[in-house]
């Protein structure tokens, strides 16, 4: 993933839009970045997947 796109998404989804939680790991949430996909989830049930080219 393009670093600028990653930073943009990281900033946008650092805090969960649903509950404001900003923790990753220990069951709090997940952040997974693959070649062209950014995935963020939260313990509250929020999850988002963004494809780099969309
Ligand atoms: Zn949340």
Q: Count other Cβ atoms within 10 Å, centred on residue 39.
A: 15
Rg (alpha carbons) of the chain, rounded to whole number: 11
Ligand 1 centroid to residue 18 C-alpha, Å: 5
Q: Please state, in angstroms and rounded to a whole number, the distance separating the CA atoms of residues 39 and 32.
A: 5
Give CA separation, 53 vs 2, 48, 49, in Å. 10, 15, 12
CB 27: neighbour CB atoms within 10 A?
Answer: 7
CA of 5 to the centre of ligand 1 (A): 22
Count the neighbouring beta carbons within 10 Å of the beta carbon of residue 38.
21
Distance 33 CA to ligand 1 centre (A): 18
Residues, beta carbon < 5 Å, ion ligand 1: 16, 18-19, 21, 42, 44, 46
Q: What is the pLDDT tens value at each position of the chain, 54 positions in all?
A: 999 999 999 999 999 999 999 999 999 999 999 999 999 999 999 999 999 987
């Amino acid at each position: 993933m393009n670093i600028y796109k990653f930073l943009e998404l990281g900033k946008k989804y650092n805090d969960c839009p649903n509950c404001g939680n900003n923790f990753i790991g220990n069951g709090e949430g997940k952040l997974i970045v693959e070649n062209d996909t950014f995935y963020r989830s939260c313990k509250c049930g929020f999850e988002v997947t963004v494809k780099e080219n969309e």
